[in-house]
Structure 1
Amino acid sequence: MSQAVSQHNAQPVPFKAETRQLLNILIHSLYSEREVFLRELISNASDALTRLHFETLINREIIDPETELAIWITSDPQQRILMIRDSGIGMNAEELSQNLGTIAHSGAKAFLEAAQKGDTKLNDIIGQFGVGFYSAFMVADKIEVESRSYRPNDSPARWISRGEDTFTIEPAEKSERGTTVKIFLKEDAAEFCDENRLRQIVKKHSDYIPYPIYIGNEQEPANRRMSLWRQPPHQVGEDEYRDFYRQFTLDFQDPLLKLHLAIDAPVQLYALLYIPASPERNPFGLRKEEGLKLYARKVLIQEYCKDLLPPAFLHFMDGVVDSEDLPLNVSRESIQSNRVMAQIKRILTNKILDTLKALAKEKPEEYKRFWIAHGRSIREAIATEPDLVSALQPLLRFHSLNHPQEWISLDDYLMKSPANQTCIYYLIGDYQKSLENSPHLEIFRSRGMDVLFMTDPLDPFMVLRMPTYNGHDLVNAAGEDLKLPKENSAETPTTVSADKQSEDLVQRFKKVLGERVSDIRLSTHPLQAPLRLVMPQGALQPEIQKVYRLLNQNFEPPKPILELNHQHPILTSMLKFPPESPIVQKTIELLYENALLVEGLHPNPGELAPRIQDLIQLALEKTPHE
């Protein structure tokens, strides 16, 4: 029997390690909120009740076998005393010394040395300590623990400590089974005598502890006890899911989708996840940050855990994850980054993807609502999560040349394309209306071919991550050497013969634009517009240029090639004026800048207004008076 047990005169017993220093670390370094001490004590009480429950399955020789398995929290504001009592398995003097002396085991010294060195593997030794109990010294001047074991022949005992170098164990007069933790609160911790404050903490951290938690003289438990996410999905009604979501978020719009999981392997977890109807967080809602609520054995560990899903998915997921397999660090405020967390993240991510794919296939109208609300997150995930690109591509939706009002998938695009089409064509711009009027689309329009419109700022980043889809290259429709499927076997490339007038037109443009373009030539593609700009081979692609601009990166944009539609009325009319005519020069400038605007390349669109006005004035001066 230990020294702590044998001495009835309750002499102080020294801890076996540098307890004062260790407690200083626990109290001041590892917990960011003092209220978590109550969560820890309730969790310990719940563990004691669970141990007793299992004991009663094989042993009826226990004290008070009919006593309710519960937790009671009472306070004395006048004396600043808080008490947490349970009817669990209890402890004798020897067990008090061992269980509350865990902090004094030989690993404490190693823990201190690692903490002082800032050892990155600190979590590897944290598991050796049952230090949650000691978090109560954040708010306590003194703690007394009075306990009586479930064994009829064991005597009750009391453990006393002020969180310094020693503890004391002495006989007690406790008659009922279980443990009472009596905390003599510091002056600045008097708030923890307020029953409303206690109720708030229980609701936040311990609402789903499986045993009733009574506060003060109340007859009704302060905790809900029934964790919806741990119930078999087939036993939960839609109204229950909806009510839980509203209580959880204070969002009174029904969620777009829910996902209820109960998984045993390769890791044990329960999860209840929701996709809100709106991408914007309700300013009056309960969820103030992104992240899932993380529980271990129904005890809240993190209010906003950001390690369970890819960052992009956090934008639209709300919910709860609960696991028995999580290894916790000393404060329970952060989870060890290890294989179990990686497994949980992989399982949740794959389940969400499978659910979204099923929704897109079975309920396309509902998926359309999801895409409109949260499609940007899918784009972001493709741009930032290389491992998810192939899994996410089927979820993408676009407007297109042939479907300007519809949302089509990449599979829809391919299914409606000509059999000999080997590429997926897209066009990047700021606005769909601008893209619809792009001269690059005219050859596609003439052939009835489709082009995807990409107008979201994330689209250029996304395209860089996904050069192909199901063996089909993604090709920018604004490229110079655009490879299109032949319309028939006899089709030959279009050629344009340059007559004297056409050559004169090219020279006029070269004289005005000079080195602003790399070349000026007649277009071989059918154009309705006067001209178009294309990027020369080997130049930065438009999507990369846009990425640089969005990132405010300094780079030298490539000089485009200018292709002229020499048959356009504007250009043929321009030949009626002398080359040095101001109206010719201003027309060329305006046509060029308009082309830049259509391509989203114009550095200052506001400059167009005075140029248009100047051209109108010149045109009016040339108009004869009637």
Structure 2
Amino acid sequence: MVESAFDPAHEFQTLNFKAETQQLLDILIHSLYTERDVFLRELISNASDALTRMHFILLTERDVLDPDAELAITIVPEPDKRALRIIDTGIGMTADEMIENLGTIAHSGARAFIQALKENNANPNDIIGQFGVGFYSAFMVAERIEVISRSYKPQASPARWISTGRETFNIGPCEKVNRGTEVILYLKEDASEYTQETRLRQIIKKHSEYIPYPIYLGQDKQPVNRQSALWRQPPQQVKDEDYEAFYKQLTLDFQPPLFHLHLVIDAPVQVFALLFIPASPERGPLSARNEEGLKLYARKVLIQEYNRDLLPSFFRFIDGVVDSEDLPLNVSRESVQASRVLAQLKRVITNRLIEALKNWAKEKPDEYTTFWQRFGRFIREGIATDEEYGELLAPLLRFPTLFKPDQWLSLEDYLLTMPARQDKIYYLLSDSLGSALNSPHLEIFRRHRYDVLLMTDPLDPFMMLRLKKYQNIELVNAASEELPPPESPSEGQDLSESLLSVEEQTRLINRFKSVLGEKVADVRITQRLSESPARLALQQGSPSQEIQRVYRLLQSDYSLPKLVLEINPHHPLIRSLYNLPDNDPLLRLGIEQIYENALLLEGLHANPGDMVKRTEEILLHALQAKTT
């Protein structure tokens, strides 16, 4: 409490704050607030609180001063006096209440607060929430503040409070006929901008647009704010065109959003939210939202323009607003204190958003496909990086497949088409859809009629290092899976004249090894190929294909481990090479070309241009053979 109390026998009195108050005011004015505009938000919020209390009193009492007065806030700039007035018709205050309420800093324990700062070397933002001193932010712009107030109680007398933000304040009686409070700021020389109606309107629009009471500006009382917040209306009462209009106002995006989600939640935390997925992940040059993050409101008062803590980072493309009555704010209302409530808000909003995206995918698959093609990389990123939500995102994935390359299948779709004998989900990593479809790794899957997910995004290998199972079914890389050949040969394949004896196979392998040398870890015969002459496989103990691709993307100088070249002894090209004499130049050219073709299909060829000269030599030999 202050050191002396108000004595109504005196016309005007000077009362002392405790000694620590000046130090505390210095902290509040110079250290806590990051932008001066917030003083107006604070004063409007205080006025709104007074109006809300008056509203509840009017529900049960009629013996009040000015019972029919409109519950409203009026802001009047006075440029000639370099002054600004903020007037409300709220509950008002008596002289004693002004001492108590406007002396909140001292009342709340300035000594304990300052001691906590010294002992813990703490940031004021982290421990000041309980002090409730937003009113004093006005001293950032004002050299003197006067508060004139009259209580709603008919017999109460009006009072005036005056302070320059130093060690004392003055209080005494005054003349005021109407109920409510008037805060008069006598502005500093460098704060005269706050007497300009255009500037004031801009601040009100940004921070106090949805205060539930009308805000009037200027002597002619021009209405400024909307009052009604779309996100607080029941979703069933809001039309699609209203959502679209709000989105365009929020973002200045000329294209309508792909998707919106309107949340009204009471438990476990109370929250209202309106979230949008834009038409494009790239923000336009005229966008009103030039940073990532959601607009955060507390009781319809803007707290943060860009809050990045209410959704995981992989949902950073989402635009929208979140509003809650439960947020524990620091005194400046510029940031939210770390708390269980904030964590709950993030969890609730994220889970609801993921569930809504799943439903959207089921109900409107074509629209969801458009979303996936534009924003799928963010979902992949979430699975690759977020331990808490990664597993929940798996149903949102979409892929082309071996048998349906022109469609986008979910993992659930894949499971529904699996043959009864298949017990794994197969996928293939590749640089492009064309390379994937031509991959020799897929031949045996075609023969078994096992579909394969085709993954061609650079983030896919990162994702697959985390995504090991779906619905308890293992996901396996088709390139490393050793399936047995089907019992019957491929359609049209005649093995009667293509079988090689063990000795012939050894001779064939030795020919490849002698040509390729240290380029490969080994050469071996495979029975899994039917259409391709060869494929490259990992040698036992090598890092997985996923890890190798990650290293290649992260390290430009990464050297791949040597691979095993598997050759198909039934392929006509391999048979023809086998039949060539040892001294035929086509033998070396053909083996090198087969190896580099395999590198090319794997996306591993360091310089495909090197193949041109060899291709020309092979063509020359073939043409000369035809003309001789």
Give the shorter-chain TM-score range. Answer: over 0.9
1:594/1:343 CA distance change after superposition, 3 Å: same
Structure 1 unmatched runs, 5+: 489-493
2:546: which partner in 1?
A: 543
2:440: which partner in 1?
A: 439
1:243: which partner in 2?
A: 245
Match status 1:378 vs 2:379:
yes
Structure 1 residue 184 displacement after superposition = 1.2
- Equivalent pair of 2:485/2:528 in contact (CA under 8 Å): no
Structure 1 residue 217 displacement after superposition = 2.9
1:170/1:381 CA distance change after superposition, 3 Å: same
1:183: which partner in 2?
A: 185
- Equivalent pair of 2:100/2:107 in contact (CA under 8 Å): no
Partners of 1:269 and 1:212 in 2: CA distance: 23
Question: What letter matches 1:572 in structure 2?
Answer: R
Q: Deviations over 1:154-197 (max 9, x none)?
A: 22111111122222212222221111111111111111111011
- Equivalent pair of 1:17/1:104 in contact (CA under 8 Å): no
Partners of 1:161 and 1:412 in 2: CA distance: 70
1:568/1:128 CA distance change after superposition, 3 Å: same
1:587/1:30 CA distance change after superposition, 3 Å: farther
- The one of 44, 47, 52 equivalent to 1:45 is 47
Q: How many residues end up aligned between the 2 structures?
A: 618
Partners of 1:136 and 1:498 in 2: CA distance: 94
2:577: which partner in 1?
A: 574
Give the superposed CA RMSD: 2.4
Partners of 2:46 and 2:391 in 1: CA distance: 45
- The one of 591, 594, 609 equivalent to 1:588 is 591
Structure-to-structure mapping, 1:303-318, within 5 angstroms: 303-315=305-317, 317-318=318-319
Partners of 2:306 and 2:612 in 1: CA distance: 50
- Equivalent pair of 1:548/1:554 in contact (CA under 8 Å): no
- The one of 9, 13, 16 equivalent to 1:14 is 16
1:125/1:603 CA distance change after superposition, 3 Å: same
- Equivalent pair of 2:11/2:173 in contact (CA under 8 Å): no
Structure-to-structure mapping, 1:461-610, within 5 angstroms: 461-479=462-480, 481-483=481-483, 498-552=501-555, 557-575=560-578, 577-579=580-582, 581-610=584-613
2:38: which partner in 1?
A: 36
User: SS of the residue aligned with 1:421?
Assistant: coil
Q: Deviations over 1:332-372 (max 9, x none)?
A: 11101211111111111121122112122222222222212
Name the stretch that deviates more: 93-102 or 569-578: 569-578
Question: What letter matches 1:461 in structure 2?
Answer: F
Partners of 1:619 and 1:128 in 2: CA distance: 88
1:112/1:266 CA distance change after superposition, 3 Å: same
Question: What letter matches 2:212 in structure 1?
Answer: P
2:128: which partner in 1?
A: 126
Partners of 2:47 and 2:499 in 1: CA distance: 87
- Equivalent pair of 1:519/1:562 in contact (CA under 8 Å): yes
1:329: which partner in 2?
A: 330
Structure 1 residue 484 displacement after superposition = 5.7
User: SS of the residue aligned with 1:441?
Assistant: helix
Structure 1 residue 520 displacement after superposition = 0.4
1:360/1:90 CA distance change after superposition, 3 Å: same
Question: What letter matches 2:134 in structure 1?
Answer: G
- The one of 150, 167, 172 equivalent to 1:165 is 167
- Equivalent pair of 1:259/1:274 in contact (CA under 8 Å): yes
Structure 1 residue 88 displacement after superposition = 0.7
Question: What letter matches 2:170 in structure 1?
Answer: T
Partners of 2:120 and 2:605 in 1: CA distance: 53
1:347: which partner in 2?
A: 348
1:624/1:125 CA distance change after superposition, 3 Å: closer
User: SS of the residue aligned with 1:29?
Assistant: helix
Match status 1:369 vs 2:373:
no
Partners of 1:383 and 1:183 in 2: CA distance: 53
Q: Deviations over 1:113-148 (max 9, x none)?
A: 333456458666423212111111111111111111
Structure 1 residue 42 displacement after superposition = 0.4
Structure-to-structure mapping, 1:199-214, within 5 angstroms: 199-214=201-216
- Equivalent pair of 1:2/1:94 in contact (CA under 8 Å): no
Q: Deviations over 1:505-541 (max 9, x none)?
A: 2112211222332210111213322210011233211
- Equivalent pair of 2:499/2:569 in contact (CA under 8 Å): no
1:606/1:183 CA distance change after superposition, 3 Å: farther
Partners of 1:14 and 1:484 in 2: CA distance: 91
Q: Deviations over 1:262-290 (max 9, x none)?
A: 11111111111122222222221211122
1:236/1:505 CA distance change after superposition, 3 Å: same
2:406: which partner in 1?
A: 405
- Aligned identity (percent) is 57
Structure 1 residue 589 displacement after superposition = 2.6
1:301/1:572 CA distance change after superposition, 3 Å: same
Q: Deviations over 1:525-567 (max 9, x none)?
A: 1332221001123321111111112222866533211101233
Question: What letter matches 1:348 in structure 2?
Answer: I
Partners of 1:18 and 1:569 in 2: CA distance: 93
Partners of 2:345 and 2:160 in 1: CA distance: 42
Q: Deviations over 1:272-325 (max 9, x none)?
A: 11222222222212111221111111101111111111111122x211111111
1:586/1:22 CA distance change after superposition, 3 Å: farther
- The one of 287, 290, 299 equivalent to 2:289 is 287
- Equivalent pair of 2:294/2:308 in contact (CA under 8 Å): yes
1:91: which partner in 2?
A: 93
User: SS of the residue aligned with 1:347?
Assistant: helix
Partners of 2:439 and 2:110 in 1: CA distance: 71
Name the stretch that deviates more: 292-301 or 276-285: 276-285
Partners of 1:168 and 1:554 in 2: CA distance: 73
Partners of 1:218 and 1:318 in 2: CA distance: 36
Question: What letter matches 2:563 in structure 1?
Answer: P
Partners of 1:19 and 1:580 in 2: CA distance: 98
User: SS of the residue aligned with 1:247?
Assistant: helix
Question: What letter matches 1:395 in structure 2?
Answer: L
Partners of 1:3 and 1:346 in 2: CA distance: 49
- Equivalent pair of 1:4/1:168 in contact (CA under 8 Å): no
- Equivalent pair of 2:108/2:131 in contact (CA under 8 Å): no
- Equivalent pair of 2:379/2:397 in contact (CA under 8 Å): yes
1:491: which partner in 2?
A: none
Structure 1 residue 206 displacement after superposition = 0.4
Question: What letter matches 1:482 in structure 2?
Answer: E
Partners of 1:106 and 1:220 in 2: CA distance: 38
1:182/1:472 CA distance change after superposition, 3 Å: same
Partners of 2:278 and 2:232 in 1: CA distance: 21
User: SS of the residue aligned with 1:387?
Assistant: coil
Question: What letter matches 1:543 in structure 2?
Answer: E
1:487/1:211 CA distance change after superposition, 3 Å: farther
Structure 1 residue 12 displacement after superposition = 3.3
User: SS of the residue aligned with 1:57?
Assistant: helix
Partners of 1:594 and 1:206 in 2: CA distance: 65
User: SS of the residue aligned with 2:597?
Assistant: helix
Partners of 1:284 and 1:580 in 2: CA distance: 69
Structure 1 residue 253 displacement after superposition = 1.9
Partners of 1:608 and 1:116 in 2: CA distance: 71
Partners of 2:44 and 2:245 in 1: CA distance: 26
Name the stretch that deviates more: 146-155 or 426-435: 146-155
Name the stretch that deviates more: 563-572 or 54-63: 563-572
- Equivalent pair of 2:499/2:570 in contact (CA under 8 Å): no
Question: What letter matches 2:561 in structure 1?
Answer: P
Partners of 1:623 and 1:120 in 2: CA distance: 86
- Equivalent pair of 1:4/1:169 in contact (CA under 8 Å): no
Name the stretch that deviates more: 267-276 or 204-213: 267-276
